[in-house]
A = this chain, B = another copy of it.
Amino acid sequence: MDFSEIVKSRRAASFFDPSKPVPQETLKRLVEMAAQTPSSFNFQPWSLVALENSEDKARLRKLAMDQPKITDAPLVLLVLGDRDAWKKGSEPFETNFDKMVEAGMPKEQYGWLADTAAKLYGQSEEAQQAFACKNAGFFAMSLMYAAKSLGLESHPMDGFDHDAVKKEFHIPDNYWIPLLIAVGYFDRSKEYPKAKWRKSFEDLVVAFS
């Protein structure tokens, strides 16, 4: 599907057809498309928890303002941002370094990479949170475009009790959950959402003096 068409037609869908599951191969294709997302030093500091069974979705719905789309959608993704993936010694850091060396980076750059990442992401809680959420934001946006390109609808959601969801699904402390995404096929008995207002070019491009 043409990207300009996706941009024009993608909406946060509120009505999913509960009778149409997302086939496993479609889920795989969705995730593999989004896996190509760029990230800071290629750390890919993101993971997904995929909820597909009714009980799991019901547990989530209770902690997410009782939103019906959570149980209507056949698939709900918890998007996780890893706040520690830049740290020397962490699994993501070490795996990424090994892969960089395989691709031709001299091993001697280990210290440079570790120090640079620590300087950029480790100097404050703010920087660490920005690292996790910005990158997970890239990944989530890719998932939403990829969903549309595969004929699926998606709905990004912030309306949930962050700490309670973390606890309920045993998410380790290094992760932040920047959003949930409901994914599925649109319920064709409902009206597809209209485009919402968006900022103009003039609103968006600013300068300060």
Binding site for B on A (CB under 8 A): 1-4, 6-8, 10, 12, 28, 31-33, 35-38, 40-42, 44, 46-50, 80-81, 99, 102-103, 116, 120-121, 125-127, 129-131, 133-138, 140-142, 144-146, 148-149, 156, 158-159, 162, 169-172, 176, 178-179, 194, 196-201, 204-209
Contact = CB atoms under 8 A, between A and B. Distances in A.
B137 A28 contact: no
Contact of A49 (B121, B137, B208): B208
Contacts of A170: 208-209
A50 B118 CA distance: 28
A114 B204 CA distance: 23
A141 B12 CA distance: 17
B42 A197 contact: yes
Given A99-B197, A130-B133, A7 B31 contact: no
Contacts of A116: 159
A48 B129 contact: no
B137 A3 contact: no
Given A129-B133, A135-B137, 12 more contacts: A1-B3, A7-B146, A10-B38, A31-B201, A31-B204, A125-B126, A129-B130, A130-B133, A133-B134, A134-B140, A141-B141, A141-B142
A88 B47 CA distance: 33
